[in-house]
Structure 1
Amino acid sequence: MRYLCGGALVALIMAWVAAAQAQSLSYAGLRDDAPERYTVVRGDTLWDISGRFLRHPWQWPEIWQVNPQIRNPHLIYPGDIIYLADCNGRPCLRLERGQGVVRLSPEVRRVPHREAIAPLPLEVVEHFLRRHRVVDEAEGIENLAYVVGGDDRRLVSGAGDAIYVRGALPDTGRLGIYRLGERYEDPQNGELLGIELLGVGRALWLRRDGEISRLEITESDFEVRNGDLILPVEEREWAGQFLPRAPERAISGRILAVPGGVQFIGRLQVVALDLGRRDGIAAGHVLRVEQQGELVTDPNTNELIQLPGEEAGLVMVFRPFEKVSYALVMQATRTLAVGDRVYHPDRRELLADAP
């Protein structure tokens, strides 16, 4: 394995592009200004690093080559080096593992723990996931445990207060307190796609007496009321990070809603899509967004017509449910809105699957 520099690198990139074009490959997607080597720093995301090397970050899996001698090569840490290499005449990216050593004269200390870089800005995602989740109608909202009263006859409760809950609950693990939010329905056929739950707080199970459990509220974002729902907190393990990538097949849907009621959507905002696991959507899938064309009146016929849509950005799915998904807006060249179309980022896939 060797590194490349100077004119040799330029010549090799040109050769790669020529070879890719000859094989109808997409590696003309390698940026002209792609660095030969890049050292990962704290605060980087996989999306950021992909964008340094590729015009289209979702092509990362196509060009990433696993180093078999490196433990957990799909996890990338601050201090690691990503570099361009030649893999049998095709461009690829490889990993040189950083040592995680900080030199403090006159001694050397090993950093005890390093967190792998995230695929996207996790502070945005984690905050959102604490406040929002979706349940399918099949899960049965009516079967979920719910608050029936507060300690000392309180009608509303907060952090430090005890509450009484009716229904089946685990006596271990973290519990979330939720309130019914928006009903997500298919605008075309009215199918119920899911029910949004809004996070109210967290609680700790204390004891059970028959079908009634006593919980202590450990934290609350809002006042806890009778009727609020109690569910085990979803444990999200980000260590096994997902890769930004295109869906395996052609797919098309719409921006269904913007949690929080925002009307206009920009970069790093969360959107709900009318696509889910049943449609083949998975965490890490990147979709292109097409802004809806404007409705105008034909000056000659007075007909109301819709102008063609325009490419407007990219979203990456981070939490798929059965029929809907939450995605983060990674790029926005125009203001996005509910109803905008989302589809496979590579138009050739759409053409290949067209009837």
Structure 2
Amino acid sequence: MTRRWERARRCGGAALLIVGLLAAGMAHAQQQMLRDDAPKRYTVVRGDTLWDISGRFLNHPWQWPQVWQINPQIDNPHLIYPGDVVVIRDCNGKPCLGIERGQNVVKLSPEMRRIPRRQAIAPLPLDVVEHFLTRHRIADASINLSEQPYVVASGDKRLISGAGDDVYVRGDLTGDIRYGIYRPGEVYRDAQGAILGRELISIGEGRLAGGDGDLNRFAVTASRQEVRDGDLLMPLERLELVGEFQPRPPEHAVEGRILSVPGGVRFIGRLHVVAMDVGTRDGVAPGSVLAVEQQGELVSDPRTEEMARLPGVEAGQVMVFRSYDRVSYGLVMRATQTLEIGDRVHTPDAMDLYSLR
């Protein structure tokens, strides 16, 4: 009985030691999230983004949700506005970030106060993203483009058309829907050659103006390029960008590659948009942050004369802002080296993820 008690005591002590070490490790990991030169306080200014502010305090900006202490007494605690002060706090012995918000009101009478209209800071440069999304979209592999309505002719013997012109379209259209005019672009494929999706280039917008049997008259209300015969019509995507989405790693392990840089750029740097072969079916959503591993150089073995690829190196981070079934668009938020098409994208490394537990 005494021996059993002694074994139980030793096991219990070992368990307590393990728990203590894990707690100490997690506390250390939490501390390591903060930059050594992080300010104690930072006043948010117009033009800041959530990524910018996170980068002032954290070694990895996407770890923001793990150290952000929500202030329950503040309306919309997830939103941060110019004039707010982000501060480092102590949360049960671990560092966290909080916010100090002034009242910023002007008293007009004992019964009324005026609160200035303010716009919350964006998680990333939305002007870059919005400009891109008005010009590009992905048609998933399940969409048969040959079945979409298309421009048959411009009418009035015009070769091209633009805003203010009518064109004739074949296919089913609904009168109360705004349509985008698109031209098929690059076809995205996986490593085995299967189609992941097809990029569509936005040419303009319009609406149904009238029908005449098999052909419909379509009014072009806006155009970015000349409208040509054969251009496709599809209902416009909803381009609502949620300002509250937080940078975070994907919930599951993700493995993919950079497919292209829309616009024909070969070498990729910060704030370039990239298309990747991961999407919603992989658990990737707006706000997901992926690490980028640059391909190792292809070299010749001096002894065997066989070609060998050197190991890849971590070279940047991408935040997803639009996700389709098997393809997503992301904005390069950090690039320590020039990135290229074919570079690997993946969930941040296990060492970084350990600090999120």
Fold-level similarity (TM above 0.5):
yes
Q: Distance in 2 between matches of 1:23 and 1:118?
A: 30
Q: Distance in 2 between matches of 1:114 and 1:232?
A: 32
Q: Which residue is equivalent to 1:54?
A: 58
Q: Does 1:28 align with 2:28?
A: no
> What's the CA shift for 1:175?
2.3
Q: Does 1:234 align with 2:237?
A: yes
C-alpha change, 1:59 and 1:350, in structure 2 (3 Å) is closer
1:224 aligned to which of 217, 227, 236: 227
Q: Does 1:122 align with 2:126?
A: yes
Q: Does 1:202 align with 2:205?
A: yes
Alignment check: 8 A CA contact 1:118 1:238 kept: no
Alignment check: 8 A CA contact 1:136 1:322 kept: yes
Query: CA-atom RMSD, angstroms?
Result: 2.4
1:147 aligned to which of 151, 162, 169: 151
For structure 1, the 5+ residue unaligned runs are: 1-17, 104-108
Q: Which residue is equivalent to 2:71?
A: 67
> What's the CA shift for 1:274?
0.8
> What's the CA shift for 1:39?
1.8
Q: Distance in 2 between matches of 1:113 and 1:173?
A: 32
Q: Which residue is equivalent to 1:304?
A: 307
Q: Which stretch has the larger CA shift, 189-198 or 206-215?
A: 206-215
Q: Aligned AA for 2:83?
A: G
Q: Which residue is equivalent to 1:244?
A: 247
Q: Which residue is equivalent to 1:42?
A: 46
> What's the CA shift for 1:20?
5.5
Q: Which residue is equivalent to 1:332?
A: 335
C-alpha change, 1:239 and 1:298, in structure 2 (3 Å) is closer
Q: Which stretch has the larger CA shift, 66-75 or 309-318?
A: 66-75
Q: Distance in 2 between matches of 1:235 and 1:113?
A: 25
Question: What is the DSSP-based 3-state SS (H/G/I as helix, E as strand, rest coil) of the residue aligned with 2:151?
Answer: strand
Matches within 5 A, 1:142-291: 142-186=146-190, 188-210=191-213, 212-291=215-294
Taking every aligned residue pair, what percent have the same amino acid on both sides? 61
Q: Aligned AA for 2:198?
A: I
Question: What is the DSSP-based 3-state SS (H/G/I as helix, E as strand, rest coil) of the residue aligned with 1:213?
Answer: strand
Q: Aligned AA for 1:335?
A: T
> What's the CA shift for 1:202?
1.9
C-alpha change, 1:169 and 1:111, in structure 2 (3 Å) is farther
Q: Which stretch has the larger CA shift, 244-253 or 322-331?
A: 244-253
Alignment check: 8 A CA contact 1:249 1:349 kept: no
Q: Distance in 2 between matches of 1:176 and 1:276?
A: 23
Alignment check: 8 A CA contact 1:79 1:99 kept: no
> What's the CA shift for 1:328?
0.7
Q: Distance in 1 between matches of 2:118 and 2:131?
A: 22
Q: Aligned AA for 2:295?
A: Q
Alignment check: 8 A CA contact 2:123 2:243 kept: no
Q: Distance in 2 between matches of 1:305 and 1:272?
A: 27
Alignment check: 8 A CA contact 1:85 1:94 kept: yes
> What's the CA shift for 1:155?
2.5
Alignment check: 8 A CA contact 1:20 1:28 kept: no
TM-score, normalisation: structure 1 = 0.86
Q: Distance in 2 between matches of 1:191 and 1:350?
A: 32
> What's the CA shift for 1:195?
0.6
TM-score, normalisation: structure 2 = 0.85
How many residues of Structure 1 are paired with residues of Structure 2 in the alignment? 329
Q: Distance in 1 between matches of 2:329 and 2:170?
A: 30
Question: What is the DSSP-based 3-state SS (H/G/I as helix, E as strand, rest coil) of the residue aligned with 2:240?
Answer: coil
> What's the CA shift for 1:210?
4.6
Q: Which residue is equivalent to 2:7?
A: none
For structure 2, the 5+ residue unaligned runs are: 1-21, 108-112
Q: Distance in 2 between matches of 1:65 and 1:120?
A: 20
Q: Distance in 2 between matches of 1:79 and 1:194?
A: 43
C-alpha change, 1:349 and 1:128, in structure 2 (3 Å) is same
Q: Distance in 2 between matches of 1:98 and 1:281?
A: 36
Question: What is the DSSP-based 3-state SS (H/G/I as helix, E as strand, rest coil) of the residue aligned with 2:127?
Answer: helix
Superimposed CA distance per residue, residues 190-224 of structure 1 (whole angstroms, 9 cap, x where no aligned partner): 11100100011122333344554333222222110
Alignment check: 8 A CA contact 1:150 1:162 kept: yes
Q: Distance in 2 between matches of 1:63 and 1:97?
A: 18
> What's the CA shift for 1:346?
2.7
Superimposed CA distance per residue, residues 59-99 of structure 1 (whole angstroms, 9 cap, x where no aligned partner): 00111122222222112222222222222222222223344
Q: Which stretch has the larger CA shift, 194-203 or 154-163?
A: 154-163
